[in-house]
């Protein structure tokens, strides 16, 4: 009797023998001892920096600097009058940023279009909390009407860096009767964007 004929006549015995051989092979392979090791790094900490601005103004160029104060007041103006004020802007955050200024909520009357505004960058400082109180700068970063006020951006304001700006507003001698008893206002919004 050949093996093939035996397998064909007794398939159950053949399968049980094959099962025993397979189980024995599995035990032989699975019973080997394995060494293993692990290592772990200390916890990695991820943090983000911040970009914050300090805005202090010396109203009408006199007195103490006050947080987010009015930069200048120009009351009871007549043609030819000038009013000035200083504002210190400092990056008090830990990241550098580009600084921009825009006039918001600007009046749309004749006076807003006639008032001349000049903004001078008086210079940079890095003393943590003390801004200069005088403006020796002559570089205009804006010169035009109140209605169109914006600032030539400072491309990079480093952490701790500050700039002093002088605002000069004037009512030209050519102002006409349409500006009498008028009022104009604007809010100056400083923004910094990370670079």
Domains of the chain plus CATH, in order, are 53-194 (2.60.40)
Lowest mean pLDDT among 26-30, 80-84, 122-126: 26-30
pTM greater than 0.95: no
- In angstroms, rounded to a whole number, what is the distance separating the alpha carbons of residues 137 and 195? 26
Q: Tokens standing for 155?
A: 């491309």
* pLDDT one-digit tens code per residue, 163-183: 888 899 999 999 889 889 988
Statement: residue 94 has pLDDT above 80: yes
- Output the average pLDDT for the chain: 79
- Which of the two residues, 70 and 59, has the higher pLDDT score? 70
- Which of the two residues, 24 and 187, has the higher pLDDT score? 187
- In angstroms, rounded to a whole number, what is the distance separating the alpha carbons of residues 147 and 106? 6
Buried-state track 22-47, b at ≥16 Cβ within 10 A, e below 16: eeeeeeeeeeeeeeeeeeeeeeeeee
Statement: residue 13 has pLDDT above 90: no
Token pair 């919004």 is found at: 189
For the chain, the 3-state helix, strand and coil shares in percent, each to the nearest 5, are: 20, 35, 45
């Amino acid at each position: 009797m050949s093996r093939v004929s035996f397998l064909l006549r007794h398939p159950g015995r053949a399968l049980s023998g094959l099962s025993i051989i397979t189980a024995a092979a599995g035990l032989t392979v699975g019973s080997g001892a394995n060494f293993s090791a692990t290592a772990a790094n200390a916890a990695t900490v991820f943090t983000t920096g911040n970009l914050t601005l300090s805005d202090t103004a010396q109203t009408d160029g006199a007195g103490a600097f006050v947080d987010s104060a009015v930069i200048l007041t120009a009351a009871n103006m007549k043609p030819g009058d000038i009013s000035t004020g200083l504002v210190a802007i400092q990056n008090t955050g830990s990241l550098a940023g580009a600084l921009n200024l825009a006039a918001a909520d600007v009046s749309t009357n004749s006076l807003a279009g006639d008032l001349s505004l000049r903004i001078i960058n008086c210079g940079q400082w890095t003393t943590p909390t003390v801004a200069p109180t005088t403006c020796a700068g002559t570089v205009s970063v804006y010169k035009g009407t109140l209605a169109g006020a914006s600032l030539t951006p400072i491309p990079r304001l480093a952490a701790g860096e500050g700039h002093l700006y002088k605002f000069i507003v004037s009512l030209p001698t050519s102002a006409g009767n349409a500006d009498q008893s008028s009022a104009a206002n604007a809010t100056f919004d400083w923004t910094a964007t990370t670079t």
